[in-house]
Amino acid sequence: MSGGQLAPLVVAGEPFSPGVRAGDVRDVFEYLANQLHRRVEPVVRDDWHQADDWGYSFRANRNADNLSCHASGTAIDYNATRHPNDRSGTFTAAQVAEIRAILAELDGVVKWGGDFSGTRDEMHWEVRGTAAQVAAVAARLRGPVYSPIVGAMQLGMHFTESDRDGIWGPLTDRAVYVVRQAFVGLFPEGVARAEAIAGTEQTGTWTTADAEANRTVISVFQRAWGVGDDGYWGPITEKAWKTFQARLCTT
């Protein structure tokens, strides 16, 4: 391949054969494909066509008189058989909204074929940014970055100052899950309060007072996630949790 080497790209066990351009491009595509898998549509399912996720291919552009971005390893096709070339509306409105959110997280360095002005190609995603722009996005994706959203969540869960790093790592992920489980009634009887509301040093059984405190923490999550603050973990809060976990969790 001219201009670079290929590197494997595998998401949820599904390879984008035979790979994509190594380095920054691959790291951007890894984030993109994982987010599509988690937030938009799974990359593979037993009752769907298998092996329809593709990367490098030295060939002409099927919709224009030039060389395809696949020829440089800077394009992927995602669930190609579900989103055929020259067909619009293969994603729902909710899925398209999530796609746009993911693209915004990549600072515009990836173009979606569903936005092409000519023939639409909703399976298709290609890197459009400059080398410097792609490198900057890839560098940000490689390491955990402070998020004020996570910082607010940690403060609401009474994390100690040393633990309030604004990063959704293992400690934060476990603590948020514990708060969720407590609200939906799946929390074990007699759990220590320090486990139920992260960062406190109190122990004892889960009480009505603890449940009230838990709802206060949920309200903090909801405000951070922009979904109100009623303190009840319902379907909207559940969706927001999964969305922000997928975007920010480093584990």
Q: The pTM is what?
A: 0.65
Domain assignment present for residue 107? The answer is yes
Look at residue 64 in the predicted model and tell me its pLDDT.
73
Residue 216: closest CA among 166, 179, 172: 179
Assess whether 152 and 237 both reside in one domain. Answer: yes
pLDDT: is 106 or 46 the higher one?
A: 106
Partners of residue 75 on adjacent β-strands: 126
DSSP bridge pairs for 54: 17, 77
Structural domain boundaries, residue 192? 148-248
Structure tokens at 138: 């890839």
Residue 178 lies in a domain: yes
Taking each helix axis as running N to C, give the angle between helix 148-156 and helix 208-225, from 0 to 180 degrees, rounded to the nearest 10.
170
Residues 26, 117 within the same domain: yes
In a domain, 111, yes or no: yes
**Nearest-10 Cα torsion for 35, 38, 39, 43:** 90
Are 74 and 171 part of one and the same domain? no
Our count of domains for the chain comes to 2
Which positions ≥6 away from 202 have C-beta within 8 Å? 193, 194
Q: How far apart are CA 246 and CA 142, in angstroms?
A: 15
The answer to whether the CB of 47 falls within 8 A of the CB of 85 is no
Specify if 156 maps to a domain.
Answer: yes
Query: What is the pLDDT averaged over residues 163-185?
Result: 85
Contact 231, 216 (CB under 8 A): yes
Q: Are residues 16 and 95 in the same domain?
A: yes
Q: Read off the amino acid at residue 102.
A: I
- Residue 60 shares a structural domain with residue 31: yes
pLDDT digits (tens, 9 = 90+) for 184-227: 665 444 444 444 444 443 344 445 667 788 889 999 999 999 99
pLDDT-derived band of residue 21, with 50, 70 and 90 as boundaries? very high
At residue 5 the predicted structure's pLDDT band, cuts being 50, 70 and 90, is: very high
CATH number of residue 27's parent domain: 3.30.1380
For residue 77, the SS3 value is strand
Tokens 């987010």 belong to residue: 35
Phi, psi of 208 (to 5 degrees): -60, -40
Q: Is 82 exposed, middle or buried (0-12, 13-18, 19+ CB in 10 A)?
A: middle
Chosen domain end from 80, 115, 142: 142
- Please state, in angstroms and rounded to a whole number, the distance separating the CA atoms of residues 166 and 63: 45
3-state helix, strand, coil in the chain (%, to 5): 45, 10, 45
Q: Is the pLDDT of residue 113 over 80?
A: yes
According to the model, what pLDDT value does residue 246 have?
Answer: 84
Q: Is residue 1 part of a domain?
A: no
Select from 96, 114, 142 the last residue of a domain: 142
d(CA 119, CA 63): 6
pLDDT category of residue 158 using cuts at 50, 70 and 90: confident
Q: Which residue has the tokens 């898998």?
A: 37
Boundary residue ending a domain (96, 126, 142): 142
94 to 90, 97, 245: CA distances (angstroms):
12, 5, 18
The predicted structure's pLDDT at residue 2: 47
The lowest-confidence range among 79-88, 178-187, 209-218 is 178-187
Same domain, 176 and 216: yes
Same domain, yes or no: 79 and 162: no
Domain match, 107 and 187 both: no
**In this structure, are 64 and 177 located in the same domain?**
no
